[in-house]
Structure 1
């Protein structure tokens, strides 16, 4: 009986060896960092620099910047050069019924400069529309950046949690094997029945299946990590919640979401775009004033004309006032007004969504704190219960199945604690995203912040050139 008690004590130590520590994401297998150790900040930096979704959105924003110089082209003169040359066969019938023929080589060269002086303020309002589109696009880019960073945190914590879960399941399988060995020895000694060994074998098989499922989940999470971050995970170190950056209360979270969430700000700029577009549509109902200067030189080799060449130069002012265009301009104006109404309703909808997201993120973060505390208490209680059941089983007061049930309770408690601590970290970052502050500057990441305004100023006043600032 003493030997059984010693064995049962050894099983207890093996099972509890990774007790609460295994449930914690700061378990020793991850706390020991070497030169290849990777923190959550490192993962965020890699995702911020290399994520294809984020980089494609940056390229899209650079394309949006080009709307401004396109609109500003309306302020600038339009210069057109023309050149024509060819052969022309001519046959002239004279009064005396004789025919005179010649092959001519006429050519003309000229240049025309057109400058719009007034077009109903269409150019000015088009520039304003383009600038509002740039502002909206920047907020959309910031929103995508938040999503990528939150995805990076999520995959990081999933890998970390699945690694801990695999270690916990391995420890559980080891303990179940020792429990089975003890049951077999006690069966040979006549202390238990074959039912006990069968139950132990069944639990061991279940433990092996759970370990396999945990290893599969870990492989999937590692592949997802590579997709988001750009590289496979190495040795990950524990991550902490970002509580220091979070709002103090629920209403504070809602207020910050209204003021700083990129989706809300982008919708506000979209309202400005739609409102200014009304003025662009109305410009088609107003007069247009242009001035055009031209110069040309032509050559004509027909001697019968008495002129061999012509030089011309002119400056012409032109005023066009629309009287009736079939109702096109009026329809476009009415359409723009309706779209402006749509944009205002979308802004209200986005604000409501931001409020809901902020409240949901706040509640989830608070709930995650409670879940971690409860799970830690459950792991401690399950560990104590397992030790007690094992001691009582060694004294013949408990059956093997009761020991197995206690072991199962402990491993399930550990799994819940691992999940709760993963959710705790993710929830804190999700709340930071819900208030619009999940960015490089707020997190203090060691990487240059991407500044979309740099490209904007590079192209805004560009008069010519096909190459982009990056040299393409």
Structure 2
């Protein structure tokens, strides 16, 4: 399903912020799918790790810009010597010196410009990678939410079925006692009962597995989950329209395009080493 993710992103951020402003823990009870998604968006460690990585990549732009800034270096030296003269006695000499040098690049073959553009492309790629991570985590959160609802319903149906079969076994045994049923009928009822017990245990195990995934992705135990509303109005009406949106907006595709741009700028940066350089130097 393709949706306009930026709108969802703003909604989730607003939902989480509203809970914070209310003075309560962020979404203490994720009862709706929107609340569960907002909780995952705010606290999921995978998203937070990618956010930190994106902030680190952002720092490469000012680092690249430093290529056209002046460099200042300073030096100092001191020495000590002495001489022993029979007439003048011992003489001590302590000469020292201090120097400063400034260098300003006037033209570096466009290397700094190319490095800056490469860093900016890397920043854009990192932001799209973050957006892709957010989409994947939110998809996992929605799947975990719906899986818990599904498995809760299945476990409930299995429990009801077992109750019915338990009653059927009791009925068959009572009928056997009065001669209205055979041992075969009782054995068949007990076999169906045993199968229902196994199915209920499997359903409960699957439910616990889904709850564990929910806890891992969303960060809390599921509590009174409500079935979500339909999303038919969010789905493009035609397949080609969905493909067009994906090619134009999918973050994985956009991140790859920015990485291609970064590679192009890196090539130009390497080629700039073949051009002449002009540097203004001064020292004192």
After TM superposition, the score normalised by the length of structure 1 is 0.52
Distance in 2 of aligned mates of 1:138 and 1:150:
18
Whether 1:82 aligns to 2:75 is: yes
**For each residue in 1:249-273, what CA deviation from the matched residue of structure 2 results, as whole angstroms up to 9, or x when unmatched?**
1111111111111111111111211
For 2:263, the equivalent position in structure 1 comes to 274
Q: Secondary structure at the match of 1:236?
A: coil
**Per-residue Cα deviation, 1:57-115 (whole angstroms, up to 9, x for no partner):** 00000000011000000121112233333x4225599xxx9998643323222322211
User: What residue number does 2:132 align with?
Assistant: 143
The answer for the alignment partner of 2:148 in structure 1 is 159
CA–CA separation in structure 2 for the residues paired with 1:102 and 1:215: 96
**Larger deviation, residues 283-292 vs 56-65:** 283-292
- For the pair 1:63 / 2:52, whether they are aligned, the reply is no
Selected match of 1:47 from 22, 40, 54: 40
SS in 2 for 1:265: helix
Partner Cα separation in structure 1 for residue 156 and residue 74 of structure 2: 76
Contact conserved, 1:81 with 1:110, CA < 8 A, in 2?
Answer: yes
Aligned residues: 257
| Structure 1 residues 198 and 76, CA gap change in structure 2 (3 angstroms) | same
How far apart, in 1, do the equivalents of 2:160 and 2:55 lie?
A: 53
Alpha-carbon distance in 2 for matches of 1:132, 1:92 = 69
Which secondary structure state, in structure 2, belongs to the residue aligned with residue 80 of structure 1?
strand
Identify which of 154, 169, 174 aligns with 1:185: 174
SS at match of 1:38: coil
Query: What is the 5 A alignment of 1:266-305?
Result: 266-295=255-284
Counterpart mapping for 1:432-443 below 5 A:
none
CA distance in 1, matches of 2:110, 2:184: 91
Alignment of 1:321-360 (within 5 A): none
Quote the offset at 1:241 in angstroms. Answer: 3.6
Q: Paired residue for 1:405?
A: none
Q: Distance in 1 between matches of 2:231 and 2:92?
A: 87
8 Å CA contact 2:76, 2:99 repeated in 1:
yes
Any unmatched runs of 5+ in structure 1? 1-34, 296-472
Does residue 43 of structure 2 align to residue 72 of structure 1?
no
Give distance in 1, aligned partners of 2:30 and 2:138: 19
- Look up the SS of the partner of 1:82 in the other structure: strand
Structure 2 residue 227 is matched with structure 1 residue 229: no
| Residue from 189, 193, 206 that aligns with 1:204 | 193
Q: CA 1:117–1:213 in structure 2 vs 1: closer, same or farther (change >3 Å)?
A: same
Q: What is the alpha-carbon distance in structure 2 between the residues aligned to residue 36 and residue 69 of structure 1? A: 42
CA RMSD across the alignment: 2.1
* Equivalent-residue separation in structure 1 for 2:130 and 2:30 (angstroms): 30
Larger Rg: 1
Which residue of 145, 148, 162 maps to 1:173? 162
Structure 2: distance between partners of 1:62 and 1:214: 44
Structure 2 length-normalised TM: 0.85
1:36 shift after superposition: 4.8
Q: Deviation per CA, 1:199-247: give whole Å up to 9, x if none.
A: 1111111111111111111112111111110111111111234221111
- The residue aligned with 2:106 is 117
Q: Does the 8 A contact of 1:139 with 1:262 survive in 2?
A: yes
| Mapped partners of 1:89, 1:37: distance in 2 | 79
Q: Which runs of 5+ in 2 are unaligned?
A: 1-27
Distance 2:114 2:101 in 1: 27
Aligned partner of 1:216 in structure 2 is 205
Of stretches 58-67 and 220-229 in structure 1, the one that deviates more from structure 2 is: 220-229
- SS of 1:231 mapped into structure 2: coil
* Cα distance in 1, alignment partners of residues 199 and 268 from structure 2: 65
